[in-house]
Amino acid sequence: MKKLDKPAILVVDMLNDFVTGALACDRGRAIVPATARLLDAAREAGVPVIFCNDCHLPGIDHELALWGDHAIAGTPGAEVIPELKLSEKDYVVPKRRYSGFFQTSLDILLRELGVKTVVITGLHAHMCCRHTAADAYQLGYDVVVAKEATDSFTEEDYLNGLAYLKTCYGADALSNDELIAMF
């Protein structure tokens, strides 16, 4: 199987508040084992694992009016879920909007790592994953999505998210086995 061209894994918003906290989501809990497996395989293969984490300033962040308080900087809700075993070799990029790129250091980090392909994982396929994929594509990265390691509040939102990523960014939705074989 063809290898991915200089991949990195982007883990979007797999934080306590998104999985078990303020914006808890059963479908988010369901992808935890598959996500953990993919991240372990990536680390073992030397593929960078980059957490794109909501990190909101209370009282002022634009998004909070729409969604209520979540992932407030410095609170447990803004921490990566323990099952994904954030390692000191992983990277963490805080964000204050849906996209992992918007007004963050993600692009310069990817460039310094020599990354060409981003593997999108996390929550939610049709929202923060989609906005992150949009910016990745527009900045010139190839985009693929880990279909077992992303989801949305509903099946419909999940499928719509994957379809949008395929249509607009050419992002294939790949299984863990397929991805791991391509590292």
For residues 110 and 141, what is the distance between their CA atoms, to the nearest angstrom?
A: 9
How are beta strands 49-54 and 91-95 bridged, if at all? parallel
Q: Which residue matches tokens 């609170």?
A: 75
Please provide residue 10's backbone torsions phi and psi, each rounded to the nearest 5 degrees. Answer: -105, 120
Determine which helix (DSSP H) or strand (DSSP E) holds 144, and give its type and residue range: strand 142-151
Q: Which is nearer to Zn ion, 63 or 178 (CB)?
A: 63
For residues 180 and 66, what is the distance between their CA atoms, to the nearest angstrom?
A: 37
Instruction: Count interface residues toward Zn ion (CB under 5 A).
Output: 2
Taking CB under 5 A as the rule, does residue 54 contact Zn ion? yes
Q: Which is nearer to Zn ion, 63 or 79 (CB)?
A: 63
Q: Which is nearer to Zn ion, 12 or 143 (CB)?
A: 12
Q: Which stretch binds Zn ion (CB under 5 A): 62-70, 75-83, 135-143, 169-177?
A: 62-70
Q: Which stretch binds Zn ion (CB under 5 A): 51-59, 108-116, 135-143, 164-172?
A: 51-59
Whether 81 and 42 have beta carbons less than 8 Å apart is answered as no
Taking CB under 5 A as the rule, does residue 17 contact Zn ion? no
C-alpha gyration radius of the chain? 15
Q: Which is nearer to Zn ion, 54 or 151 (CB)?
A: 54
Alpha helices (H) along 22-175? 26-30, 32-45, 64-67, 106-113, 128-138, 155-169
> Which residue's Cβ lies closest to Zn ion?
54
Q: Which stretch binds Zn ion (CB under 5 A): 17-25, 28-36, 52-60, 72-80?
A: 52-60
Which of residues 36, 40, 63, 116 is near Zn ion by CB under 5 A? Answer: 63
Q: Which stretch binds Zn ion (CB under 5 A): 35-43, 54-62, 80-88, 107-115?
A: 54-62
Which residue ranges make up the site for Zn ion (CB under 5 A)? 54, 63
